[in-house]
A and B are shown apart, each in its own frame.
Chain A
Amino acid sequence: MGAEPGPRREVVTARPRTERGGLPLPRPANPPGTGPAAPADDTAVTALMRRQMRAALTATALLVASLGLLPVLLRLLPLAGAGPSVPLAVWLVLGVAPYPALLCTGAWYVRRAERNEGDVTAR
């Protein structure tokens, strides 16, 4: 690879087309061939969006219900007078438990979202 020793190469480019002058190229609002996509059925899109939105909101609700309420719970529960195993439990709840839970919620969501899309594609 690279230029071999011997004859030298010259850099050649076409001259900028004169009609554009120095002005920036106006972007084609609709470049050839990219017009409105395959006439997407609007109601189908809306229905799919609703179902996907529901799946996303369910996943978020799970997240909020489990992790989102934890700080309040930890604050409210009277931990001070409890036995010696309580701090360990707090550390396990905060340090270990969330990660498998997040992964499971994510896996559920992906399955659900792909099924929703599969329904549309299979129409």
Chain B
Amino acid sequence: MTALGTVVLALAGLALFALGAALGHAGARRQQENPAGPGTPVERATFHTLHTASLAAPPLRAGLTPDTARKAAKRLRPLLGTVALALTDEESVLAWDGVGDHHREEAEAQLAQAVRAGRTQTFALSCGNDTCPVRWGVVAPLGVDGRVPGTLAAFGDAESAVMVRAAEEVARWVSVQLELVDLDRARSGVIEAEIRALRAQISPHFVYNSLASIASFVRTDPERARELLLEFADFTRYSFRRGGDFTTLAEELRSIEQYLELARARFGRRLEVTLRIAPEVLPVTLPFLCLQPLVENALKHGLEESADRGRITIIAEDEGTEARVVIEDDGVGMDPQRLRDILRGRGGPSAGIGLSNVDMRLRQVYGDDHGLVIETGVGAGTKITVRVPKFRPGIRPAPLPAG
């Protein structure tokens, strides 16, 4: 019995650790697939070059800093086949890979010229050490968007036209990578702007309709009108608040409740709402105002476009490491093809900007696995499912506005 136990436990433990180790190397292995595949020597050399370049790209895509420069230089030097390679900013060496580190200052003296002229410079280096292979250097400027944020410097023991050419080509390749950094930044800027834009998009119809229905109660039921007005104030304060792009599910649901309370004032008994919220998921953090547009959509298709009663169900459930939120209505539904267009951003100006924007933000924050899943058909109602991880590094709810 114990012998068998030993075997089983040892196997289980081994399997577990092997799995962990495999995972640990999975990412690296994916990138390090053997470049020396089939093909002629020339083809293999090409593969090798492309492969090395692809390894240097990821650090550079994070911008030019001492840390990324160090990682990139380590990959780039084999590409040039030089004894030493340096990446610099406008005035100092960020990373020096290879031998001859003591020439750092001497090389830095040559930077200003190359940066100012935007042209490749070659220069000889003096060295007291007879065995030092760093005798000669080439500095190629990096050009990004008309600026020169830094240079690539290569070093050898003698002047070589081939090396000048190679250094220039590699510098051009690095420049392209750095330009992509700017592109990335611009893109995330656009997405941030879109998030801000969505926030301001509490529909004017909603504001108008809410105020109209509150007004209708002022005479008949002043107390109700007062309550609704307070709900309206709370709701708008939440929706228009500044700062922070994340909130908790509890806060988001609270605002949705106020929204539905105002809608109920308008639709009366035609609107039936069922909320089924597992208290465990209330602290989950999620993008600000990412459920409200979905409820608005449900209200639109569930009630506004039909004369019958409409039912909206909102469910939030615990799913292990995720929370699952489902918003369902039994209204007129949507044409799946048209919905696809909307989600692709081709639905025209009026249609469901809310849906596609929420979808995009969820994907941006949590990855493509976490986009909206919509089940719908003409006349079949709509069911929208959102899955939010309970934890993502760096994502925290913003403070409530004071007061």
Give A contacts to B, CB under 8 Å: 1, 3-4, 6-17, 20, 24-25, 27-34, 37-38
Contact = CB atoms under 8 A, between A and B. Distances in A.
10 contacts: A1-B313, A7-B380, A9-B377, A11-B375, A12-B343, A12-B375, A17-B363, A25-B368, A27-B394, A29-B394
Given A34-B245, A34-B246, A13 B191 contact: no
Given A7-B379, A34-B246, A13 B373 contact: yes
Contacts of A3: 375, 380-381, 383
B344 A12 contact: no
Main secondary structure on chain B at its contact with chain A?
A: mixed
Contact of B356 (A14, A24, A27, A30): A14
B25 to A, nearest CB: 15
Interface of B: 188, 191-192, 195, 243-246, 274, 313, 328, 330, 333, 336, 339-340, 343-344, 356, 359-360, 363-368, 371-383, 392-396, 398-399
A79 to B, nearest CB: 37
Given A12-B340, A13-B371, A31 B244 contact: no
A33 B245 contact: yes
B244 A33 contact: yes
A26 to B, nearest CB: 9
A40 B180 CA distance: 34
B344 A14 contact: yes
A28 B380 CA distance: 38
Given A25-B368, A33-B398, A34-B245, A9 B333 contact: yes
Contacts of B399: 38
Query: Which 6 pairs between the two chains have the least Cβ-Cβ distance?
Result: A33-B245, A14-B343, A25-B367, A7-B380, A10-B336, A9-B375
Given A13-B371, A14-B356, A25-B366, 16 more contacts: A1-B313, A3-B381, A9-B381, A9-B382, A10-B376, A10-B377, A13-B372, A14-B363, A24-B367, A25-B368, A28-B365, A28-B394, A31-B245, A33-B244, A34-B394, A37-B396
